[in-house]
A = this chain, B = another copy of it.
Amino acid sequence: MEQKTFQDYYPEDVSHCYGCGKDNKHGLQIKSYWDGEETYAIFNPKPYHTATKGYVYGGLIASLIDCHGTGTASAAMYKKEGREMDTKPTLRFVTASLHIDFLKPTPIGTPLEIRGKTEEITDRKVVVTETVSAKGKVCAKGKVVAVLMPKNML
């Protein structure tokens, strides 16, 4: 059985994010999974997602870290509460802060692997650290501080 992605569980009204909404036809449609205690996503940049020739544009890397981070936060909070991701109330997160260190140019034309780790989890906040790798080499590191989405955004 194919594992469902975190984003498959997002209710329809929060499935239009350009980064990770499965219902945003123009978007990146990032898909995140558990892998043991860590999470991961694989993303194939389009040929036009360039910075300079041959390298991936930093804003895309920021987007991958951002959306995989909030996805990881959501999955981690459900896990903490001992609930499945399709149960109510819905736990969706927004980014309070995002930090990225670009360690080396990220080559384009190869799948990128984004891996996330939950560093801290409280009642309404999750801190996720991430790496973005190409061909097994870490090209960027990121940190997302995610907070539960305000009710007026849900």
Please list the residues of chain A having a beta carbon within 8 angstroms of any beta carbon in chain B: 13-14, 16-19, 21, 24-28, 46, 48-53, 55, 57-60, 62-64, 66-67, 94-102, 105, 149-150, 153-154
Contacts and interface: CB of A to CB of B under 8 A. Distances in A.
Which of A46, A62, A97 gathers the greatest number of chain B CB atoms within 10 Å? Answer: A62
B52 A14 contact: yes
Contacts of A25: 48
22 contacts: A14-B52, A16-B50, A16-B53, A17-B50, A17-B52, A18-B51, A19-B59, A28-B59, A52-B149, A52-B154, A58-B98, A59-B62, A59-B63, A59-B66, A59-B67, A62-B62, A62-B63, A97-B101, A97-B102, A98-B100, A98-B102, A99-B100
A143 to B, nearest CB: 9
Given A52-B13, A149-B52, A59 B101 contact: no
Nearest to A30: B59
A14 B50 CA distance: 10
A96 B61 CA distance: 13
A47 to B, nearest CB: 9
B18 A49 contact: yes
Contact of A98 (B17, B18, B99): B99
